[in-house]
Copies of this chain bind each other. A is one copy, B any other.
Amino acid sequence: MSILVVGSVALDDVDTPFGQRRGALGGAAVYFGLAASYFTDVRLVGVVGEDFPDEHVELLGTRGIDLAGLQVVEGETFRWGGKYGYDFNARETTYTNLGVFANFQPQIPETFRRTANVFLANIAPQLQLSVLEQVERPAMTALDTMNYWIERTPTELRSAIESVDILLINDSETRQLAGEPVLRKAAARVLEHGLELLVVKKGEDGVVTFSREGIFAVPGLPLDSIIDPTGAGDSFAGGFLGYLAATGDRSAEGIRRATIYGSVMGSLCCEAFSTEKLADLEPQEIEERFQEYKRLTHFEYSPILLNA
């Protein structure tokens, strides 16, 4: 079944110790859409300015992403500048020019309103709520958010969280949202907002999913080469929700596999600048990376006599 993503489409200026890119294709909806496109049909809703290059539109088209919901309006595309040092967990945002994204009002095209699965990337909770009002009984809804909204619009964010099935946030945001330092307790408290599933992203330290059925954790895959981690979290979401949308399998086992596919897409994303790797993968690379996670984490019990 298809998945609808609503979120940012951006031009990124990225500096890393290994090189730089100017005006590279970026934005949460883009990373998510590209990652999810290997699993299912993707419909994108976002906004860009008239400066948005045709080549970026074409690239999204090659992955079959339906851009009927991409508004092109007068003004400049959302532009973000980021700088990484050798510690890729620490990122410096050098600037943020919201451009036309500042006045983004998601308009869900008529043809998108019955999409079975919906992902609300990190935008204002009010906008996330407005999307949910425009779609008809989706089978699965998920949202991402960030500390900014936890601090500025807690009431709206709470409404948005209570309206979806799945929440994806990072570990410090989970603690912040719950007002509880112990992650497991914080997760239990967040789940009480009527969520089916909480996905806690820990960057290069992996992912933990919490649900009433239990906890599943994937460690980070130590990569030989980390070029640009921009978009890894949204790529994770694309693999994770893309898998769930494609299979409809939200059993405990299905969620475990989805978490691995998410980790696969997030890790592949980091191996090149911008969307360069994510936009041009062979299915085999994805399956091989899945098996790499299996080798990374697999162990068997073998009886041993312990000393009392």
Contacts and interface: CB of A to CB of B under 8 A. Distances in A.
A214 B294 CA distance: 12
A218 B243 CA distance: 24
Contacts of A221: 217
B253 A299 contact: yes
Interface residues on A, range: 35 or more
Contacts of A202: 205
Contacts of A40: 307
Given A205-B205, A298-B256, A307 B283 contact: yes
Given A206-B205, A223-B184, A38 B217 contact: no
Contact of A295 (B64, B214, B218, B287): B214
Contact of A182 (B184, B226, B253, B291): B226
Contact of A283 (B87, B181, B259, B308): B308
Contacts of A225: 182
A164 to B, nearest CB: 22
A307 B223 contact: no
Contacts of A260: 299
Given A39-B306, A257-B300, A299-B257, A219 B222 contact: no
A220 B247 CA distance: 29
Residue among A37, A206, A294 with the highest chain B CB neighbour number at 10 A: A206
A228 to B, nearest CB: 13
Interface in A31-87: 37-40, 64, 86-87
A143 B256 CA distance: 36
Contacts of A256: 298-300
Contacts of A257: 299-302
A199 to B, nearest CB: 13
Contacts of A88: 181
Contact of A216 (B223, B299, B306): B299
Contacts of A104: none
Given A206-B219, A217-B222, A220-B217, A286 B300 contact: no
Contacts of A296: 215-217
A139 interface: no
A110 interface: no
Nearest to A299: B256
A206 B221 CA distance: 12
Nearest to A224: B184
Contact of A222 (B183, B224, B302, B307): B183
Interface in A216-245: 216-226, 243
A224 B182 CA distance: 7
Contacts of A217: 219-222, 296-297
Contacts of A25: none
8 contacts: A39-B304, A184-B222, A216-B299, A217-B220, A217-B222, A256-B298, A256-B299, A287-B306
